[in-house]
Amino acid sequence: MDQELTASVRTRFAPSPTGMMHVGNLRTALYAYLLAKSKGGSFILRIEDTDRTRMVDQAVEVIYKTLDAAGLKHDEGPDVGGPCGPYVQSERQAAGIYMKYAKMLVEKGAAYYCFCDKADPLEESHEPEEASFSAGYNGHCRNLPQEEVSANLAAGKPFVIRQKINREGSTTYQDAVFGEITIKNDVLDDQILIKRDGFPTYNFANVVDDHLMGITHVVRGAEYLSSTPKYNMLYEAFGWTIPVYVHLPLIMGRDAEGNVAKLSKRHGSVSFENLCAEGYLPEAIVNYIALLGWNPKNEREIFSLPELVEAFNISGLNKASAIFDYEKLAWLNGEYIRKMTPAQLGVLIAPYTHLQGTRFEPVMEQLAALLQPRLSKLSEAGEKLAFLLQCPDYGPDLFFNKKNKVNAESSREILSIMIPRLSELKVWNAATINDAITACASERSCKYLSVMLPLLFAVSGLKATPGGASDLMALLGREESLARLETALAKLS
RNA sequence: GUCUCCAUCGUCUAGAGGCCUAGGACACCAGGUUCUCAUCCUGGUAACAUGGGUUCGAAUCCCAUUGGAGAUGCCA
């Protein structure tokens, strides 16, 4: 029971290659990783491709890429090898591993061959063969005479292998997060271990592989809480040690109507790749999901992966499910963006700016510096910088700011004064431009903003911009800036 | 339907009987700094689902109710 005494912790992440990586799955991987690493143990990757109908091309690559981007380096797995291979269940199936153990179970009387057809009316029947069958399969083949089984097998009749559940009493187990869980055995059904196609089900492959791979802590979603007794019966039938269970609270999403449900597509981007494509940084995503269901027992919120490893503890795991909050993710992402250097940010925003190949590409770092405090995700860089290439269309009403007494009339006046002055500047940079603005304001005994705002509006065509008038004019250059000021003056006259 | 689990601000959470007139963060609101906007700084609004117990004392323990989620697949 005392995990501290466990010689070497081994956890695994066992995804199915069915497409993109859901953040819920990624969080499971993260916690499995953190648990192992915080104890100096091993983190194993196992591919669970036993459902051939759900296989998606390239999905295994997606898994590798995602784990890599998230920084969750596995110690053993299909691509890096290890002592417990193969790490792909279809390969293990081909090696006959699951069938071997299933037959062992049949011999022990803990499983049986079932010849019922998928659509067999007997299976559909609500009249169970045994009175105690309250759920699932009706038990038709549960006690088939040995001769009949042999005859069917000899005749090559298709079969599945089912677990023979002892329906008496109840099963109690200890979960590291949820504590003691007790389930009445009569609600457990004779689940299928080996499918008609010879592949194992998750329920069986998991137990066999977790044991064979020496997994000490099974980290998985809370949806397995009620089926865990079935796994324990398997472990017991084999005489294997039951691992420590670490069931995780589910991650929920809120849809447009405000209903809470398991996080899914309709709640927005929920795959790691989509989130990244939208401009959330992998480090921020990892940091955010780490806090969804776990807390460090203090008020700290920003953690790098190594810091998470350092701080992680099972006791910080929560029981209640959590709702994925894009706003908080965005805030955290902004924090990460602000921590970078402008040069680093420049590289990251470049693809989003539509400025590559333009005269602005060489000043990407400057642009990044301006954007840095204004970005919550990289994808926002595009819209925020669009005005550089083309000044948005606007009307005279853009020139209005009550507090600083800016209106169309005052703006026309300011522009007509400032255009000649600016065009006479010997040196065109933010400092000289700013000096010109300051000088004008002091001459007129008016506020700096009364002069600056009309210029800002004229040069950007926007009410809110990622920089002040002098910054933007410096970026746009003398020619373009003056042209925009002239255009504005014309519109106001 | 049956079974299991869960339940503190709108959201993520702290809280393991007195430290709680319940703390932090996001969001929101107000003020300040600022070359607009943003960043940054200050402050504010906002929660123990309900009802019973147990106890000198309960957000914390027990029971019930209600609400939510999950399971009930030859999916994982």
- The pLDDT score that the predictor gives to residue A133 is 56
Does the pLDDT at position A257 exceed 80? Answer: no
Count the alpha carbons within 13 Å of A60 in the hemisphere toward its beta carbon.
Answer: 14
Please spell the DSSP secondary structure of A420-433, one letter per residue.
Answer: HHHHT-SS-SHHHH
Cβ-count burial A428-459 (b if 16+ within 10 Å, e if not): bebeebbebbeebbeeeebeebbbbbbbbbbb
Residues in CB range of A204: below 8 A, 6 or more apart: A98, A101, A102, A163, A192, A193, A194, A234
ipTM: 0.95
- The pLDDT score that the predictor gives to residue A1 is 40
Across all strands, nucleotide nearest A315 (CA–C1'): B16
Whether nucleic acid strand B comes within 7 Å of the CB of A201, the answer is yes
Does the pLDDT at position A95 exceed 80? Answer: yes
- The pLDDT score that the predictor gives to residue A134 is 54
A475-481 average pLDDT score: 96
Cα→Cα distances A430→A4, A442, A446, Å: 61, 18, 21
Q: Which of residues 383-442 of A touch strand B (CB under 7 A)?
A: 430, 433-434
In angstroms, the CA of A344 and the C1' of B65 are apart by: 57
Q: What percent of chain A has pLDDT over 70?
A: 94
Query: Among the ranges A2-16, A137-151, A201-215, which has the highest mean pLDDT value?
Result: A201-215
For residue A157 the two structure tokens come to: 């009749």
User: What does the alpha-carbon distance between residue A182 and residue A172 come to, in Å, rounded to a whole number?
Assistant: 4
Choosing from A100, A108, A265, A463, the catalytic residue is: A265
Looking at every residue in chain A, the average pLDDT score rounds to 92
User: What does the alpha-carbon distance between residue A219 and residue A5 come to, in Å, rounded to a whole number?
Assistant: 18
Chain B: nucleotides below 7 Å from protein CB are 1-8, 10-16, 23-27, 35-40, 68-76
In angstroms, the CA of A3 and the C1' of B56 are apart by: 39
In angstroms, the CA of A321 and the C1' of B68 are apart by: 10
Does the pLDDT at position A140 exceed 90? Answer: no
CA A407 to chain centre: 48
- The pLDDT score that the predictor gives to residue A266 is 66
- The pLDDT score that the predictor gives to residue A271 is 92
Cβ neighbours around A140 below 10 Å, total: 19
For residue A330 the two structure tokens come to: 């965005």
Across all strands, nucleotide nearest A225 (CA–C1'): B4
- The pLDDT score that the predictor gives to residue A135 is 58
Across all strands, nucleotide nearest A465 (CA–C1'): B37
Which run of H or of E encompasses A291?
none
- The pLDDT score that the predictor gives to residue A121 is 41
In angstroms, the CA of A456 and the C1' of B43 are apart by: 32
A417-446 average pLDDT score: 95
Which run of H or of E encompasses A262?
strand A260-262
Query: In which band, very low, low, confident or very high, does the pLDDT at A268 lie, cut at 50, 70 and 90?
Result: low
Cα→Cα distances A399→A346, A382, A450, A453, Å: 31, 24, 11, 8
In angstroms, the CA of A297 and the C1' of B26 are apart by: 18
User: What does the alpha-carbon distance between residue A307 and residue A312 come to, in Å, rounded to a whole number?
Assistant: 8
Residues in CB range of A362: below 8 A, 6 or more apart: none
User: What does the alpha-carbon distance between residue A386 and residue A416 come to, in Å, rounded to a whole number?
Assistant: 26
Residues in CB range of A301: below 8 A, 6 or more apart: A287, A291, A332
Q: DSSP code of A348?
A: H
Catalytic residue at A265? yes
Q: What percent of chain A has pLDDT over 90?
A: 86
Nearest residue to A157 via CA among A125, A117, A123: A117
Measured at the CA of A107, the angle between CA A103 and CA A109, to 5 degrees, comes to 115
Coil, helix or strand for A367?
helix
Identify any residues that bridge with A45 across adjacent strands, giving them in sequence order.
A13
